[in-house]
Structure formats: structure tokens, C-alpha cells
């Protein structure tokens, strides 16, 4: 009989490991075939895995991707924002929806022209397929929504939050919340959220913080934009586009950019994105003041106007950089 290290386990876990041990059985080296050895090795590996899980249960320290992971600060510290390995996408109908969602968020303008009023994609702002920390990642969102949002002074579903982006950042029209395309985006966000316990807001959600007490200097921002931003986004923020309609670098002003009701049209919100992620590949190289100045300049360049934005924050409490 193969011997395994004795481990003191809770009753339920002990029964699980015992059942796995029973399946291993005894072997005679002179009689066991190669295939039997392979099966025995696989069974032993399963037993070791079960032992590790059982010990984790006993210690109260489950792995980050365990369904037993706790909700709270401890869970948030282990929650990871990253792009999961695409090999974990199942080879079935759900997997097809996940892949469709991934395609949609990277090709929103060309795939959903009836809903996008400019030439942006979801990943124009939500970098790295929506899975980059401090670039408004989607990891964990399916376990956080529905939530109350003060902009509309009501509880929003995740579908409503997504449609807010279509109407503001995309300067377009809402998707049918029951459509296959909406469900594909939700499926993709759910796949990104694997291993993050429901109710946990992982470290890296949103943007980095900037000092909102700083006084913006748009004239200095104009000079900094010319020095650090225009090489990609163009002299007037108009972006650089390819012949097929897609962009090389997205527009941050003009008709092909987000409207003035979008979060990115707010000075301090845009500054937080700039501070953490811009210039591209050189995040956190600007000071808070430089980021605020750049944001104050380009967010007030000409862009589409959001209808009815005066109805935002109906119960008050609007941030001071909200466009009216």
C-alpha cells in the first residue's frame, strides 16, 4: 500500500481524501502495467491536491480562487486584477459568448456601429482588454453590481452601467440589456472576475488618486499636451486612425471622442487616468499638478455635448469638476 503523510483534517475533508485513497489501492511492481502506473500517479496527485485543500480549510486560509475565499479586507488583498489565461475559456456556448465579448470590447466601433457615435472602443480607456489595474478594470464587477450610484441617485445593474458608457464615453445609444451582445460582454466580465469573491472590490479598481485640491492651469496643460501627448493623440486631440476606421491612438477631443457627460470629460477624473497610465507606457511619471493641468486643457476642447446631463446628481453631491 502506498503510504501518505498523515494529516489531521476536518471530518468532511477526511472523508474526501479517504475516498480518493480508496481509488489508488495497492500495487505489485511485478504485475502493474505502465498504464496502471500512470493512473496510480494521477490518483496520488489528486490525493495530494485534496490534502492541500483540506489543510487550507482547516487553517482558514483558502486559495484566492477558492469558493471558500472570505469576503472583506483579507479577500481584497488577495484578489488579483489580471487577464486570465485564455485556455480557461470553456469550449462550449458560454465560451463562445466570452470570446465574443472579448472581441466586442476591443472592436466596439466596428462591431456595434448603431450604438457607438464616435470611433472609440471600450478598451480605449479600459486598457489591456479591460484587465489592467488602475485603468478602470472590469475584474470583479460582476460580484459588485447592482450598486447605488449617486450620479443617477439609484441602484444600477451592471447592464445599466455598461449602457452609461455607450451613451457617454461612446456618445452613442444603449444596447438592448437582454441582447446577445450585452450578454457576451457580461460573460466576458464574469470570466475576468474568476477567483474574486462576490462583494470584493480588488486592489487596482478604478484609477490612481490625484489631489483634487490642486488648482488647474490649462495654459500650462496646453504646453504639456503638445510636449507629451500630441505625438500620439494629435495636435488637437483628434487621434490617429487607420483606413478601416479603427484607431492607432484614440481621439481625446473632437467629434470622434467621448462627450462632455462622460467621466473622462471631468478634469480630476481624467487627471487620475493620466497620472497612472500616461504617457503610454510611462505611467506615474507626471506630477499630480501636471496631470491636472493636462486634463484641464484637453477635457475642455470641443467635443460632443451630452443631452440632459443637467439631470445628473439629482440629490446633489456632484463632484466639482462635473460638466454642466
pTM of the model: 0.76
- Cβ burial of 273 (10 Å; 0-12, 13-18, 19+) is buried
80 pLDDT band, cuts 50/70/90, is confident
Domain extents in the chain: 86-192, 218-311
CA atoms within 13 A on the CB side of 229: 29
Which tens digits make up the pLDDT trace of 121-174? 999 999 999 999 999 999 999 999 999 999 999 999 999 999 999 999 999 999
**Confidence check: pLDDT of 201 > 80:** yes
On average, the pLDDT of the chain sits at 83
Q: Cell 479586507 appears where?
A: 73
Q: Angle of helix 288-298 relative to helix 218-228, nearest 10 degrees?
A: 90
Q: Which CATH fold would you assign to the domain 218-311?
A: Cytochrome Bc1 Complex; Chain D, domain 2 (1.10.760)
DSSP alpha helix (H) spans, 133-250: 158-167, 180-192, 218-228, 230-233
Q: Indicate if 218-311 has the same CATH topology as 86-192.
A: yes
Q: Output the DSSP codes for 255-317.
A: TTS--TTSGGGSHHHHHHHHHHHTTTT-TT-S-HHHHHHHHHHHTTSS-PPPTTGGGSSTTS-
Contact 56, 66 (CB under 8 A): yes
C-alpha 7/C-alpha 61 separation (Å) is 16
134 near 145, Cβ under 8 Å? Answer: no
Sort 150 into a burial class: Cβ within 10 Å, 0-12 / 13-18 / 19+.
Answer: middle
Distances (CA, A) of 75 to 63, 78, 196, 199, 259: 10, 5, 8, 10, 37
Q: What is the pLDDT of residues 53-63, one digit of tens each?
A: 444 434 433 33
What span, in angstroms and rounded, lies between the C-alpha atoms of 112 and 107? 8
Distance CA 150, CA 111 (A): 31
Q: For residues 163 and 170, what is the distance between their CA atoms, to the nearest angstrom? A: 9
DSSP 323: -
Q: What's the gap between Cα 120 and its chain centre?
A: 17
More confident residue, 203 or 61: 203
- In eight-state DSSP terms, residue 62 is -
Cell of 8: 489531521
Query: 86-192: what fold?
Result: Cytochrome Bc1 Complex; Chain D, domain 2 (1.10.760)
290-312 burial, b at 16+ Cβ within 10 Å, e below that, comes to bbbbbbbbbbbbebbebeebeeb
pLDDT tens-digit series, residues 245-266? 789 999 999 999 999 999 999 9
294: cell is 493636462
Task: Tell me if 278 sits within 8 A of 229, measured CB to CB.
Answer: yes
% of the chain with per-residue pLDDT over 70: 76
Alpha-carbon distance of 92 to 82, in angstroms, equals: 23
pLDDT tens by residue, 205-245: 999 999 999 999 999 999 999 999 999 999 999 999 988 87
Amino acid at each position: 500500500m502506498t503510504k501518505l503523510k498523515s494529516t489531521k483534517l476536518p471530518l468532511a475533508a477526511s472523508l474526501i481524501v479517504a475516498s480518493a485513497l480508496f481509488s489508488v489501492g495497492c500495487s505489485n511492481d511485478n504485475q502493474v502495467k505502465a498504464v496502471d502506473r500512470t493512473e496510480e500517479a494521477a490518483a496520488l496527485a489528486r490525493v495530494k491536491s485534496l490534502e492541500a485543500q483540506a489543510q487550507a480549510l482547516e487553517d482558514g486560509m483558502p486559495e484566492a480562487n477558492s469558493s471558500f475565499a472570505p469576503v472583506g479586507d483579507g479577500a481584497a488583498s488577495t484578489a488579483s486584477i489580471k487577464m486570465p489565461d485564455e485556455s480557461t475559456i470553456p469550449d462550449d456556448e458560454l465560451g463562445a459568448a466570452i470570446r465574443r465579448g472579448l472581441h466586442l470590447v476591443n472592436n466596439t466601433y466596428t462591431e456595434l456601429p448603431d450604438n457607438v457615435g464616435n470611433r472609440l472602443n471600450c478598451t480605449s480607456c479600459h486598457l489591456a482588454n479591460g484587465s489592467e489595474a488602475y485603468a478602470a478594470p472590469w475584474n470583479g464587477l460582476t460580484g459588485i453590481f447592482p450598486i447605488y450610484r449617486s450620479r443617477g441617485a439609484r441602484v444600477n445593474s451592471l447592464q445599466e452601467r455598461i449602457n452609461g458608457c455607450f451613451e457617454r464615453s461612446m456618445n452613442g445609444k444603449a444596447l438592448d440589456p437582454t441582447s446577445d451582445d450585452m450578454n457576451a460582454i457580461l460573460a466576458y466580465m464574469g470570466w475576468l472576475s474568476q477567483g474574486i469573491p462576490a462583494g470584493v472590490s480588488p486592489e487596482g479598481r478604478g484609477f490612481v488618486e490625484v489631489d483634487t485640491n490642486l488648482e488647474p492651469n490649462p495654459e500650462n496643460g496646453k504646453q504639456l499636451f503638445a510636449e507629451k501627448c500630441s505625438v500620439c493623440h494629435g495636435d488637437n486631440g483628434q487621434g490617429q486612425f487607420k483606413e478601416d476606421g479603427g484607431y492607432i491612438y484614440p481621439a481625446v477631443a473632437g467629434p470622434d471622442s467621448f462627450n462632455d457627460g462622460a467621466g473622462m470629460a471631468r478634469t480630476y477624473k481624467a487627471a487620475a487616468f493620466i497620472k497612472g497610465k500616461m504617457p503610454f507606457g510611462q505611467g506615474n511619471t507626471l506630477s499630480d499638478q501636471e496631470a491636472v493641468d493636462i486634463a484641464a486643457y484637453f477635457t475642455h476642447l470641443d467635443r460632443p455635448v451630452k443631452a440632459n446631463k443637467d439631470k445628473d446628481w439629482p440629490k446633489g453631491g456632484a463632484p466639482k469638476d462635473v460638466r454642466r
